[in-house]
Amino acid sequence: MNLKNKTAVITGGCQGIGYATVIKFLKEGAQVVIVDLDKKEIEDTVINLRQYEGQVKGIAADVSDKSSVDEAIQYTIDHFGSIDIVVNNAGIVQDAQLLKMKEEEWDKVIDVNLKGIFLVTQAAALRMKEQKSGVILNASSVVGLYGNFGQTNYVASKSGVNGMTKTWARELGRYNIRVNSIAPGFVLTHMVKEMPSHIVNMMKEKSLLNEIGKPEDIANAYAFLASEEARFVTGTVLSVDGGLVT
C-alpha cells in the first residue's frame, strides 16, 4: 500500500489508533500532519518519530473549533503543498445512561465526534475539490451500527458519521474524492483500558476471533482505504472488529 508523495492529516494522532495510523502512513511513504489538542504532546510525538524527520509535522488544534481547524488545514498546505488524505480519527466518550446523561455530556461528544469531522472535512474538501482528488476517512464504531448501552451521545455521533460518510461520497465523487469510514470493534487503547475488565473480557469472548483488536489492525485498514488499491471503494462503512457483530 504505497502512500508515497501523499500528504495526510491525521486528527487525534498522538495516541491510540491515531498514533498507529501516523506510523503506518509514514512507513508507507506519506507526509503526515498530526492534529491533536496538546502542543507539548504533539512536540513529544514528533520527537519520538525523529527517524521520519521532514516527513511529519504537528499542529495543536481542537477539531470542534472552526478557526483552529482552518489554521491546521492551511498549515498543511503551507508545509507540504497539498492535502490528499484526511483521517478523521479524533473522538471521545462521556458515557451515561439516557436517564442520567447531562446536557454538557451530550454536547461535548457531539461537538468533537460529529461537528469536528464536519469542520475538518469541509475545510479539506474545498482544497481537494481544487486538486480534483482526495480521500476522506472517518472514525465510526460498531456501536454506530448496532447501538450500545450507556452511550446515547457516542452512538448518535457514530451513526451520524456513517450518514455523513454516505452523503459526502455522493456529493464529492464528482471531484474524484472518495469518502469511507471504519467501524472498529474493541481495540486496546486508552479509551478501552478505562473500561471495567469484565466488559473488555465479555467483548473479547463475543468476537469470533476471541480477540481484542490492536491499534495497528485499524491503521492497516485506513492505509488500504487511503491507497490507490481502494480506488473503487467509496461510501462504505468497513467493520474491522474481529467478527464482534455479524
Ligand X SMILES: NC(=O)c1ccc[n+]([C@@H]2O[C@H](COP(=O)([O-])OP(=O)(O)OC[C@H]3O[C@@H](n4cnc5c(N)ncnc54)[C@H](O)[C@@H]3O)[C@@H](O)[C@H]2O)c1
For ligand X, the closer CB: 172 or 221: 221
Among 7, 89, 162, 181, which residue interacts with ligand X (rule: CB under 6 A)?
89
Rounded Cα distance between 129 and 107, Å, is: 31
| Residue 145 DSSP SS3 | helix
Rounded Cα distance between 25 and 55, Å, is: 10
Among 49, 63, 135, 164, which residue interacts with ligand X (rule: CB under 6 A)?
63
Select which of 19, 75, 154, 175 is catalytic. 154
For ligand X, the closer CB: 15 or 176: 15
Decide if 146 is catalytic. Answer: no
Among 191, 200, 233, 245, which residue interacts with ligand X (rule: CB under 6 A)?
191
Among 108, 42, 114, 111, CA closest to 72? 42
Q: Please provide residue 211's backbone torsions phi and psi, each rounded to the nearest 5 degrees.
A: -145, 150
**What Rg, from alpha-carbon coordinates, does the chain have?**
17
Residue listed under C-alpha cell 454516505? 166
Is residue 16 a contact point for ligand X (CB under 6 A)?
Answer: yes
**Judged by CB under 6 A, which stretch of 89-97, 162-170, 172-180, 232-240 contacts ligand X?**
89-97
Query: What is the separation of C-alpha 75 from the centre of its chain, rounded to a whole number of angstroms?
Result: 19
User: Which 98-157 positions form the footprint of ligand X (CB under 6 A)?
Assistant: 112, 116, 139, 141
Is residue 186 a contact point for ligand X (CB under 6 A)?
Answer: yes
Are 134 and 84 spatial neighbours (Cβ–Cβ below 8 Å)?
yes
- Percentage helix, strand, coil for the chain under 3-state DSSP, each rounded to 5: 55, 15, 30
Among 49, 58, 62, 160, which residue interacts with ligand X (rule: CB under 6 A)?
62
Is residue 217 a contact point for ligand X (CB under 6 A)?
Answer: no
Give residues in contact with ligand X (CB under 6 A). 11-12, 14-18, 35-37, 62-64, 89-92, 112, 116, 139, 141, 184, 186-187, 189-192
Query: Known catalytic residues?
Result: 154
